[in-house]
Structure 1
Amino acid sequence: MKKQVVFGLLLASVLVFISGQDDDDYLEPPTVLIALLVRNKAHTLPMFLSYLEQQDYPKQRIAFWLRCDHSNDDSIDILQTWLEHSADHYHAVNYVLEPQVRSYENESSPYEWPASRFKHLIALKEEAFQYGRNIWADFVFFLDADVFLTSKDSLKTLTRLQLPIVAPMLISESLYSNFWCGMTEDYYYRRTDEYKEIYHVKKQGSFPVPMVHTAVLVNMNHKAIRNLTFDKNKLVEMQRSRQQEPLYDGPADDIIVFAISANSSGIPLHICNDIIFGYILQPLEPGDSLDNDLQQLVNIRGLMVNDLGAVPPLLDYYKNLAKKPEKSKLSLDRIFMINLKRRPERREKMEQLFEELGIEAEYFPAVDGKELTTDRLQEMGVRFLPGYEDPYHHRAMTMGEIGCFLSHYSIWVMMVRKGLKEVLILEDDIRFEPYFRQNAVRVLNQARGAVNYDLIYFGRKRLKEESEPGVTNADNLVHAGYSYWTLGYVISLQGALKLLAAKPLHKLIPVDEFLPLMFDRHPNNTWSEAFPKRNLVALSASPLLLYPIHYTGDSSYISDTEDSQQINVDTSEEGEARLKSDREQVFVQEEECTLDQQLKLGESLPKSHQEL
């Protein structure tokens, strides 16, 4: 039996004991007892403790119960630093730090869960639970140190719900979270449609579920709470005394036993997604290493930048522990990020992402369509493809689209002038998929070894349900079909030469229409005939490595190409309506990619309780 939810390298169950009510005017604000059962979590503790410190909740009603053992990193030192600086701010801190014991007997890895480790963890959690009962806490909050409660309103929101057991929904990579929507008869994860609805907040609120873990708030005032346990033997004794059949015969796993003990006592468990509470790392397997956890941390910090605009700051006395990956060009000559000078907020966000992910990218000032005029375009020799009109809006090109094309065009020209062999071009409103750096290098190496490519889409929108054959001897590449978007692509020097040789400024169309024309997968034959040499070798990463942050209809969606002045030319041809900025289309061929193919690209292996 593998550990269903590993408390990291850590026996890290943070128990937060809270005594308080759901009203703004707390008569007795909660006491938070954080029972940290820490093991080898020096790399997450500074963030974990910093975000707890920033909770908008009365510290004098928060008490901590901390235990750190079987740890051979700097976890104890980090906890001691926190105790020195912050312990006096809280109602009480009860802690035991044991540096002598560093591993479990017969343990092959810090990520292994032998029976002795389960037994020790369960005993400590039972002890902490009893401590909560003894101090008459109104709430007990079980937290893992792999949790980052970035919302300052987390405790306040959860306690106001007054539910018997509730967990804040936490975000991770690959749809992983801290709840199940289905459980099999033998107590393992079962996939349900409702899971994605809750995770993607298609419905919002608090929902009954069969399992919550890693961050769990227990209302100690509920009449049946005294029956809750993490101990399998206690659960079976309780069931036997009530003559409940069948008796629990599942694994001696603390979170499963806890869930079944709640079910046996008629206590519902809920997951809440009312706000973005925070983030969670995935559990590690025995064969994993610390590097796996550190890379997860990179992914999570990238998610924070996307969702929150920045990674929330650490406490001042932990800032010297902040580490970011070394910058990399991903084995390319240069990486450019195109950005309008009047969009500094986008540039700032992208530069934060580059810092967090370790990407050495250069700012490339975009040509601003708002500064273009008809006279200026004539001076540049720009002419437009006769008969072109936007396939969706049935209009001529906008100045924003012209500026976008000229921005990409300028980079192609620079590549030729400087002899740059491979360049990644990024736009400024994108989100990177987890493990972007590793997967980008893998895709590039596959392309170099398989075909003499000109262009590789890292992100795109497929527009036609058509065959996209895989690239021979490449696991994560397909030959690209009709696609929109230029939000991220690699172009070779040979590819740049081909694009420039087509003299696109003499018959201009939007850049994301021009590219599929050049690799001869565009459905408009009239436009294609204007570019007789259509031999660009265009590939696409599969699965994709990046996506837009915003789509048409999103509250934060802004389009500098659509929201700009149109050029004044005659248009006559009818085109098939296609919404350029809508969400990407996913066709059957992509959905049926094998699990083996996904795992070759993704660094995150499936866990027994993970939504894949």
Structure 2
Amino acid sequence: MNKRQVFLGLLLASAFVCIWGSVEETEEDNRELPTILIALLVRNKAHTLPMFLSYLEQQDYPKHRIAFWLRCDHSNDDSIDVLQQWLEHTGELYHGVNYALEPDELSYINESSPYEWPASRFKQLISLKEEAFGYARDIWADFVFFLDADVFLTSKEALKTLTRLRLPIVAPMLLSESLYSNFWCGMTEEYYYKRTDEYKEIYHSKKLGSFPVPMVHTAVMVDMNYRGTRNLTFDRHKLLEMQRSRGQEPLYEGPADDIIVFAISANSSGIPLHICNDINFGYILQPLEPGDTLDNDIQQLVNIRSLMVTDLGAVPPELDYFRELVKKPEKSKLSLDRIFMINLKRRPERREKMERLFEELGIEAEYFEAVDGKELTEERLQEMGVGFLPGYEDPYHHRAMTMGEIGCFLSHYSIWVTMVRKDLKEVLILEDDIRFEPYFRHNAVRVVNQARSVGQYDLIYFGRKRLKEESEPWVTDADSLVHAGYSYWTLGYVLSLEGALKLLAAKPLEKLIPVDEFLPLMFNRHPNETWKEAFPKRNLVALSAAPLLLYPIHYTGDSGYISDTEDSEQINVAESDEGEARLKSDREQVFAQNEVEPEGVVDQQQPKLGESLTKSHQEL
């Protein structure tokens, strides 16, 4: 079992940043900014170092105020080569670089994998961190910043933001592929992680600022001018000596773990720890299990880069000489015939963002130009033979269809026609404002293969909004599929050729309704009995991924939210203004009692000291 999982954040690679001088700054004189010493402890991080070092170099901080203390040992990958390349290109730009690269020792005694933490590895890590801490004190650093090389500080303002806070110990809150981060909001009496409501509030930025917490790790800044910081330590023996000298009770009885000991030494010295989420500082990889492989870490990196595109619009660029080292997945159609991405020609920014996502995820998708509702007229619709379902009105707005909704339907309809004309057996249809869940490629192939193995299917929702609290039984012999109930959204769905034929056979253009109303009608889960009568053959076999693989990037009211379907001209049909409007792009419905539990997750007892803390005990 992995002790690193017990204490959240024992470092495969670390960096320590020491800062001298005053934090006062003026626009005219950057000489008043603190000087920074970044000391790196690196092991087997060749795949993250190009991004890690690139983002450090892109900090809005004068390089002549930064120096490095660098150590690399027990690496059996190309970490040393990457660091040497960086030193050759960049070393002279900084105040100084003190480094030692030791390629001889490739592993620790009794180590089964690079992701295991035997006692000898703990001992060396703590020794090096104490050495770095001592070095910071010896050179009279004003600040010391401990930074894991699994961290990507994408905000160029990270260092300036943290130093201006003048907090004794503060960590920049980091995002991951899940709820894992570099802080705890609760700690048990046995020094283990404790779930709290406040954790999610801080992680999701429901409240902004700097908040006192019992534990920070992986990226931690210490104000060395704060009284009591001389007593901070990562060494359990030093912590116990300090507690005994002060007569403090109870004495620390926990394990010899660096981040736990550091937190308790701060607590014993009356030094508060804070987490700051004022800005999006950056991202963090989750710690690996002993049984994991390098591929697990690389897949996490794929997920993080995808998250960067979703949050920031693009992955911040690496240094020029590192770009050839950054490998992206080979493109895949996910075992399907084609993947189409629907996009309005006048929304090129969405297309560009989706193409970046496809590049990062390794998805071979084709651009499919959407029918633009703004270019439709009633005369044009008549020429196309488009008619509307008598008596239809939006169930929430109580209005007729908008031109945007008509354009949306015609876009999907055009793909269904294309499937039939080109004899495409299975197609994934994506819209252009979606967020891919982590491990999307693997899970998408898994879901499709399960659907194929259990018999006929016509449609598989990858993303949707459930609208009714109703039974959605599991598909027999499948653990990732349910029979879909009444749902909205067409964010992404797989359609079979048989499914396309069924949809076209219903002649929907003669009695048009929005596409996300039409689909549940066709698989007979729509509650409107009157509308059902217009489509007597409702035999579409519709399934849904469980859990879902796609979500909207924006919901109603979010910053950046735009709806080309809801915010468009309505067709000329008598309207009613009764009832309270509810946009289809509101957040999805949540039905707690029907939530799908991840396979294999059970309620586990609190582990004893010295045992590993499994991922189910963390905010993952």
Q: Please give the TM-score of this superposition, normalised by the length of structure 2.
A: 0.95
Aligned to 1:95, what secondary structure does the other structure show? strand
In structure 1, distance between residues paired with 2:434 and 2:601: 24
Match of 1:477 among 478, 481, 502: 481
Residue 453 of structure 2 corresponds to 449
Cα pair 2:399 2:576 within 8 Å, conserved? no
In structure 1, distance between residues paired with 2:87 and 2:495: 53
Residue 41 of structure 1 corresponds to 45
Indicate how the Cα distance of structure 1 residues 75 and 53 shifts in structure 2: closer, same or farther if over 3 A, else same. Answer: same
1:237-291 superposed Cα distances (whole Å, 9 cap, x missing partner): 1111111111101111100000000001110000000000000000011000000
Residue 602 of structure 1 corresponds to none
Indicate how the Cα distance of structure 1 residues 89 and 212 shifts in structure 2: closer, same or farther if over 3 A, else same. Answer: same
In structure 2, distance between residues paired with 1:230 and 1:522: 60
Shift of the alpha carbon at 1:328? Answer: 0.5
Shift of the alpha carbon at 1:609? Answer: 5.9
1:541 aligns with 2:542: no
Aligned to 2:615, what secondary structure does the other structure show? coil
Residue 362 of structure 2 corresponds to 358
Indicate how the Cα distance of structure 1 residues 472 and 349 shifts in structure 2: closer, same or farther if over 3 A, else same. Answer: same
Cα pair 2:24 2:32 within 8 Å, conserved? no
Aligned to 1:381, what secondary structure does the other structure show? coil
Match of 1:589 among 590, 593, 603: 593
Residue 165 of structure 1 corresponds to 169
1:607 aligns with 2:615: yes
Cα pair 1:20 1:27 within 8 Å, conserved? no
Indicate how the Cα distance of structure 1 residues 282 and 62 shifts in structure 2: closer, same or farther if over 3 A, else same. Answer: same
Residue 233 of structure 1 corresponds to 237
Q: Which range moves more in the overlay, 24-33 or 116-125?
A: 24-33
Q: Which range moves more in the overlay, 294-303 or 100-109?
A: 100-109
Match of 2:343 among 332, 339, 342: 339
Shift of the alpha carbon at 1:54? Answer: 0.4
Indicate how the Cα distance of structure 1 residues 478 and 462 shifts in structure 2: closer, same or farther if over 3 A, else same. Answer: same
Shift of the alpha carbon at 1:592? Answer: 5.5
Residue 580 of structure 1 corresponds to 584
1:413 aligns with 2:421: no
Residue 137 of structure 2 corresponds to 133
Cα pair 1:391 1:576 within 8 Å, conserved? no
Q: Over the residues paired in the alignment, what is the CA RMSD in angstroms?
A: 1.7
Indicate how the Cα distance of structure 1 residues 291 and 58 shifts in structure 2: closer, same or farther if over 3 A, else same. Answer: same
The aligned runs of 1:255-266 (5 Å cut-off) are 255-266=259-270
Residue 526 of structure 2 corresponds to 522
Shift of the alpha carbon at 1:148? Answer: 0.2
Residue 20 of structure 2 corresponds to 19
**Long gaps (5+) in structure 2:** 604-612
Match of 2:426 among 407, 422, 425: 422
Indicate how the Cα distance of structure 1 residues 494 and 576 shifts in structure 2: closer, same or farther if over 3 A, else same. Answer: farther
**Long gaps (5+) in structure 1:** 600-604
Give 1:447's aligned amino acid: A
Residue 2 of structure 1 corresponds to 3
In structure 1, distance between residues paired with 2:602 and 2:189: 29
Match of 1:112 among 110, 113, 116: 116
Cα pair 1:21 1:160 within 8 Å, conserved? no
In structure 1, distance between residues paired with 2:21 and 2:299: 38
Residue 606 of structure 2 corresponds to none
Shift of the alpha carbon at 1:386? Answer: 0.5
Residue 327 of structure 2 corresponds to 323
Shift of the alpha carbon at 1:597? Answer: 7.0
Cα pair 1:392 1:576 within 8 Å, conserved? yes
Cα pair 2:9 2:217 within 8 Å, conserved? no
1:174 aligns with 2:175: no
In structure 2, distance between residues paired with 1:140 and 1:385: 68
1:54 aligns with 2:62: no
Indicate how the Cα distance of structure 1 residues 323 and 346 shifts in structure 2: closer, same or farther if over 3 A, else same. Answer: same
Aligned to 1:198, what secondary structure does the other structure show? helix
Aligned to 1:544, what secondary structure does the other structure show? coil
Match of 2:84 among 80, 83, 106: 80
Aligned to 1:34, what secondary structure does the other structure show? strand
1:203 aligns with 2:207: yes
Shift of the alpha carbon at 1:30? Answer: 2.0
Aligned to 1:329, what secondary structure does the other structure show? coil
The aligned runs of 1:399-410 (5 Å cut-off) are 399-410=403-414
Cα pair 1:387 1:572 within 8 Å, conserved? no
In structure 1, distance between residues paired with 2:269 and 2:616: 26
Aligned to 2:3, what secondary structure does the other structure show? coil
Give 2:218's aligned amino acid: T
Shift of the alpha carbon at 1:29? Answer: 2.2
Aligned to 1:71, what secondary structure does the other structure show? coil
Give 1:607's aligned amino acid: K
Aligned to 1:33, what secondary structure does the other structure show? strand
In structure 2, distance between residues paired with 1:207 and 1:281: 22
Cα pair 1:141 1:217 within 8 Å, conserved? yes
In structure 1, distance between residues paired with 2:315 and 2:602: 28
1:62-110 superposed Cα distances (whole Å, 9 cap, x missing partner): 1111000000111111111111111111112111110111110111100
In structure 2, distance between residues paired with 1:318 and 1:407: 41
1:425-455 superposed Cα distances (whole Å, 9 cap, x missing partner): 0000001000000000111111111131110
Aligned to 1:596, what secondary structure does the other structure show? coil
Shift of the alpha carbon at 1:608? Answer: 6.7
The aligned runs of 1:214-225 (5 Å cut-off) are 214-225=218-229
1:382 aligns with 2:383: no
Give 1:19's aligned amino acid: W
Q: Which range moves more in the overlay, 413-422 or 293-302?
A: 413-422
Shift of the alpha carbon at 1:36? Answer: 0.9
Aligned to 1:417, what secondary structure does the other structure show? helix
Residue 143 of structure 1 corresponds to 147
Residue 272 of structure 1 corresponds to 276
The aligned runs of 1:307-322 (5 Å cut-off) are 307-322=311-326
Cα pair 2:398 2:576 within 8 Å, conserved? no
1:557-598 superposed Cα distances (whole Å, 9 cap, x missing partner): 000011211111235697886431100111023436355279
Give 2:454's aligned amino acid: A
Match of 1:101 among 105, 109, 124: 105
Shift of the alpha carbon at 1:20? Answer: 3.7
Indicate how the Cα distance of structure 1 residues 312 and 375 shifts in structure 2: closer, same or farther if over 3 A, else same. Answer: same
Cα pair 2:154 2:316 within 8 Å, conserved? yes
Give 1:13's aligned amino acid: S
1:213-237 superposed Cα distances (whole Å, 9 cap, x missing partner): 0000000000100000000111011
Residue 285 of structure 1 corresponds to 289
1:302 aligns with 2:341: no
Shift of the alpha carbon at 1:521? Answer: 0.8
Aligned to 1:351, what secondary structure does the other structure show? helix
Shift of the alpha carbon at 1:31? Answer: 2.1
Cα pair 1:385 1:508 within 8 Å, conserved? yes
Cα pair 1:475 1:597 within 8 Å, conserved? no
In structure 2, distance between residues paired with 1:75 and 1:468: 49
Give 2:615's aligned amino acid: K
Give 2:15's aligned amino acid: V
Shift of the alpha carbon at 1:5? Answer: 3.5
Structure 1 runs (4+) greater than 6 angstroms displaced: 572-576
Indicate how the Cα distance of structure 1 residues 426 and 99 shifts in structure 2: closer, same or farther if over 3 A, else same. Answer: same
Aligned to 1:387, what secondary structure does the other structure show? coil
Indicate how the Cα distance of structure 1 residues 185 and 608 shifts in structure 2: closer, same or farther if over 3 A, else same. Answer: farther
Aligned to 2:37, what secondary structure does the other structure show? coil
- Paired-residue identity, %: 82
